[in-house]
Structure 1
């Protein structure tokens, strides 16, 4: 079970399909991992190829293994438009520690609608209380550990 910090560097997107016919889209991204959520700045007037270059940190404390990136278009006089989303499986990042800049497909209604580029780094929690002799997290089962040590 991985424990530590996941850093997500939101770099850019390209080829986003917008629904604003008369104006450029103003995209932003909602990044979510389990119950944690971050929102990027709005790339005003950036159109279908925005640049963000922003970093976000998530606390990893369980085996959840997906990061969701939801791309939205900021609208001033109506509800923001959903442009698409990308789901990133994190197993390889937890195993390897990092994943270089990579483009992921943005999908809306099962249709390709652009790409989003991110870099990922996982920093495992080191040492501390509750660790067993092998460096892993010690498990507690309501007294089982204590009684098992007596044998």
Structure 2
């Protein structure tokens, strides 16, 4: 079982903004019972850039991060897409590991691919 800290850097997205409106957009990342969010940034096009690092404590073997892209309007905070990232290989040997910035497909309900989000991962063992 790997124990340590996982740095999750949400770099940015491509084709994520709602084509019908401008506004704020953010990412919420879930790992086990932990939840962290990026700052909601104003996006007037399809390619938001967060470049924000979120820190998670790794103490149990959970193989997946869940990334949810949300309308950053805190009144409705509607999910506009989601992706799951398998981190089993990153944690497997319990040593320091990194996954360079990688683009992951974002899905929107049953409507198919909604664009992508680029994420960099870095695991620091205890």
The structure 1 residue matched to 2:62, chosen from 47, 57, 64, is 64
Q: Which residue in 1 is equivalent to 2:53? A: 55
Deviation at residue 47 of structure 1 after TM alignment: 3.0
What RMSD over aligned residues (CA atoms) do the two structures have, in Å? 1.7
What is the TM-score of this pair, normalised by structure 2? Answer: 0.88
Residue pair 1:27, 1:47 contacting (<8 A) in 2 also: no
The structure 2 residue matched to 1:90, chosen from 78, 83, 87, is 87
CA distance in structure 1 between the partners assigned to 2:86 and 2:98 by the alignment: 13
What is the TM-score of this pair, normalised by structure 1? Answer: 0.75
Q: What stretches of structure 1 move > 3 A for 4+ residues in a row?
A: none
Residue pair 1:17, 1:113 contacting (<8 A) in 2 also: no
Deviation at residue 6 of structure 1 after TM alignment: 0.5
Q: How many corresponding residue pairs?
A: 122
Q: Which residue in 2 is equivalent to 1:75? A: 73
Structure with the bigger RCO (C-alpha within 8 Å, sep 6+) is 2
Deviation at residue 108 of structure 1 after TM alignment: 1.4
Deviation at residue 38 of structure 1 after TM alignment: 0.6
Larger helix fraction of residues: 1
Highest Rg: 1 or 2?
Answer: 1
Most deviating of 37-46 and 60-69:
37-46
**Structure 2 segments unaligned to the other structure (5+ residues):** none
**Structure 1 segments unaligned to the other structure (5+ residues):** 126-151
Q: Deviations over 1:109-142 (max 9, x none)?
A: 24110100010001111xxxxxxxxxxxxxxxxx
Q: Which residue in 2 is equivalent to 1:114? A: 115
Larger strand fraction of residues: 2
Deviation at residue 81 of structure 1 after TM alignment: 2.0
Alignment of 1:2-151 (within 5 A): 2-18=2-18, 21=20, 23-75=21-73, 78-95=75-92, 97-110=97-110, 111-125=112-126
